[in-house]
Structure 1
Amino acid sequence: MTINLTLAIVIAALYSVGFYLLMQRSLMRVLLGIVILGHGSNLLLQTAGGPPGRAPMLTTARPEQMTDPLPQAMALTAIVITFALTTFLLALAYRSWTLLGHDEVRDDVEDRRIQRLERRKVEEDEEEAA
């Protein structure tokens, strides 16, 4: 089985753009990143399925002429998961917009407090060592 170079570049571009958007602080960009990653995953699964062939029915074709149904089933599952995650993120962004007026993800206050404690501990250890 060979893969088309153009298809490999498109899949790589979809994954890189999706991961880039996923690392942003805006929930709408995260949502777009999830959707683009879902499309990249579906394209990868369909590419992994190989060339098109006959339906996988035992009486209609020989086994070497049949397509593998597993990548198609996995692509359908990926579509459902992407749709569910998209609706969840849309609800989260809407709630954030109505409560705060923006959809930016804020840092957790507890995480900042723990970082300050860790920084103080490292500074105290350096002072004791000196």
Structure 2
Amino acid sequence: MKYLVMVQGSQADYEAMAGKPSENSPAWSEQELQAMFAFMTEVSNDLAESGELIDAQGLTEPARTRFVSAGEDGRPVITDGPYGETKEVLAGYWLVDCESLERVTEIAARITRCPGPEGMVEPPVVIRPVQDAGGAC
């Protein structure tokens, strides 16, 4: 079964990684950033080695996003991010193909142990089954 394992974050988290702390997001040192990148690479490498990894990507900060919706006249309405009403956004993901919900839950639990600065609020990790072409999970 395929699953999308998503790490959540916020604009404040990205700013903290750039050295600009806020109340719930302490500034990251260069060593802490390198430890986080090494941890994420190790998770991806282990999943590739086990044959479970399909894709994994980190995403840029919300401030670099664009939101496109349909206006009342049918023409697109384009807004640049970040969005004040959105507290958490998708920060990165792993697309995996593994044997069970229990296995993907183990993977997500491992991801929650990612290193970071002291006082960091651990971002949630969300698991979503990928619907197959037949329509049912």
The TM-score normalised by the length of structure 1 is 0.30
The structure whose residues are more often strand, as a share, is 2
The structure whose residues are more often helix, as a share, is 1
Which structure has the greater CA radius of gyration? 1
Identify the structure with bigger relative contact order (alpha carbons < 8 Å, sequence gap 6+): 2
The TM-score normalised by the length of structure 2 is 0.28
